[in-house]
Amino acid sequence: MDRINKNRRKFFQTSVALVGGTIFYSLIKPFEAIAKETTIEKNVDKPLWGMGVDIEKCIGCGKCTAACKTENKVPEVPFYFRTWVEQYTVKNDGTVKIESPNGGIDGLVQSVPDEDIFKSFMVPKLCNHCSNAPCVQACPVGATFVSPDGVVLVDETYCIGCRYCIQACPYGARYIDPIKKVVDKCTFCYHRINEGLQPACVEVCPTDARIFGDLRDKKSKLVKFLQKNQTQVLKPHLNTHSKVFYNGLSSEVK
């Protein structure tokens, strides 16, 4: 974190520049456009980290939620998660049931009788590391910022716990740590990726439903995933320029 503290003002200025820009995502874009449009010109020599989520592969086992909690010392109390998995069940009568007991950490079990189910699928969620992040805009002290490699981070030494960013995030990705009284959320396991490792959730996923990589590297697994699939982001109408891309996202997903 020392290195982050040293450069945080520079990062914050960069994020403000991004927010003020005219970056735009359409619903589905080739990876070249995604990388180009999220480029911070000064940092083209750095990775631009993102994640893919293949809904067709997720089995709702919750190993990602559990690994994240352990790796990042997320409070044990229910409802504190950096990542979680939601089970969507579309019933024959057209209604949609969304369940995520304890973030899916114990594995999601279907509660709707088979005969009532039209379709059912799992949706892993986390911070979208938005390039045009409402949380960054809302933070009054610059504690939330975008790193040069595109990861939205929180400097806990600057956070005053005002919760403005929690209100601003349209994805429910943030919480106040009950012990530290500062905001916390997914960092793409920044401490791990800086060591060349995968985020914990990606490493433990038994079905490769989560794909992490550099959006600027055409050989990365993530770029290959984007090339192969017509991915979508959550709530594209908000123009947050999410860097978490879903394959197989249904219109019912909020």
Among 4, 59, 112, 176, binds ligand SF4 (CB under 6 A): 59
Phi, psi of 22 (to 5 degrees): -115, 35
The residue range among 27-35, 38-46, 203-211, 245-253 that interacts with ligand SF4, by the rule CB under 6 A, is 203-211
Q: Is 60 in the site for ligand SF4 (CB under 6 A)?
A: yes
CB of 197 to ligand SF4, least distance (A): 16
Q: Does 215 bind ligand SF4 (CB under 6 A)?
A: no
Nearest to 244 by CA among 37, 108, 61, 50: 50
74 makes contact with ligand SF4 (CB under 6 A): no
Question: Of 45 and 205, which CB lies nearer to ligand SF4 in the complex structure?
Answer: 205
User: Could you tell me how many residues of this chain bind ligand SF4 (CB under 6 A)?
Assistant: 29
What is the rounded distance in angstroms from the CA atom of residue 155 to the CA atom of residue 13? Answer: 15
C-alpha–C-alpha distance, residues 53 and 55, integer Å = 6
Residues 170 and 166: their CA atoms lie apart, in Å, by: 9
* Single residue of 69, 125, 174, 216 touching ligand SF4 by CB under 6 A: 174
Identify which of 35, 239, 22 has the alpha carbon closest to the alpha carbon of residue 149.
35
Among 171, 212, 225, 246, binds ligand SF4 (CB under 6 A): 171
Distance of closest approach, residue 165 Cβ to ligand SF4, in angstroms: 7
Given the complex with ligand SF4, which of 34 and 169 has the nearer CB atom? 169
Among 51, 127, 151, 193, binds ligand SF4 (CB under 6 A): 127
Stretch that binds ligand SF4, among 31-39, 91-99, 166-174, 191-199 (CB under 6 A): 166-174
**Position 52 contacts ligand SF4 (CB under 6 A):** no
Tokens of 178: 């009950």
Q: How far is CA 70 from the centre of its chain?
A: 18
Nearest alpha carbon to residue 176 among 152, 160, 158: 160
Answer yes or no whether residue 183 interacts with ligand SF4 by CB under 6 A: no
Q: Among 13-21, 120-128, 155-163, 187-195, which window interacts with ligand SF4 (CB under 6 A)?
A: 120-128
223 is a site residue for ligand SF4 (CB under 6 A): no
Q: How far is the CB of 173 from ligand SF4 (least distance, A)?
A: 4
Task: By CB under 6 A, name the binding residues for ligand SF4.
Answer: 58-64, 85, 122, 124, 127-130, 133-135, 152, 169, 171, 173-174, 185, 204-205, 207, 209-210, 240
